[in-house]
Amino acid sequence: MPRIMKLIIWIAGFILLIVLMRSPIEQTTNSTESLILPLSGKVIVLDPGHGGADGGAVGADQTLEKELALTVSKKLQHYLQQAGAEVYLTRETDRDLANDQTKGVSQRKVEDIKNRVVFMEEKDPDIFITLHLNALPSTQWRGAQTFYHPNQPSSKILAETIQEEIKVNLGNTNREALAINSVYVLKHANRPAALVEIGFLSNPDERELLKQSIYQNKMAASIYYGILSYFSESFN
Ligand SMILES: [Zn+2]
């Protein structure tokens, strides 16, 4: 056998040995980490509102609710995953969840919202969070606010813990968590669920904040701390 072949075989064997040695070590490290992470074993579905033809609320500068809702959801997903949670987004791109062949905006909206509930049921998460932005004809209103459906006592606690962290960390709202009956995904969640309206696109100052990456990070982190606090309470 030529010396060069021997050398190649030796190097290949050495690389294989390194790979074999590393694999079990990494697995051990991962399982050790998952034992100590605060959200390990928790499954969470995040629902960025709207998408596709449905842009949601629109700011005076054409900022779209669907885009900011997705951006903040992905930031929140990152925080939750770092803490060991298994996180699913109902959408990861600019699309709705209606079937491709369904025509008409209103028909697509009905199907979209039902399919978000179907998605949630399939993933069977411990909690469900839907993210939206507000807009009203008057520009004066501002401040993030968290909502829950009154049919699920744990949803109230979840919404309150999230709202508390938003108030403390952002320091720009005195709004309290509020019960709401009319939100389909909350009503049909059958588990702790909250709607976070992260701010008003109709308020120029708040809209500018919401467009900033640093403010989006703070918002995502506040919701994340609220979720951590919710799971750290003894009743869960
Ligand atoms: Zn919305």
Dump pLDDT digits (tens) for 28-87.
Answer: 455 555 568 999 999 999 999 999 999 999 999 999 999 999 999 999 999 999 999 999
Helices (H), the chain: 3-36, 65-82, 105-123, 153-170, 184-187, 204-211, 213-232
Phi-psi region at 179: left, alpha or beta (left = phi > 0; alpha = psi -120 to 50): beta
72: CA distance to ligand 1 center in Å? 13
135: CA distance to ligand 1 center in Å? 9
| pLDDT (0 to 100) of residue 5 | 75
Which residues have C-beta under 5 Å from ligand 1, the single-atom ion? Answer: 49, 56, 132
Token representation of residue 201: 């696109």
pTM of the model: 0.84
Helix H or strand E segment including 129: strand 127-134
| pLDDT (0 to 100) of residue 233 | 82
Token representation of residue 42: 């928790």
Average pLDDT over residues 126-130: 98
- How far apart CA 144 and CA 222 sit, in angstroms, is 11
Q: SS3 for 101? A: coil
227: CA distance to ligand 1 center in Å? 21
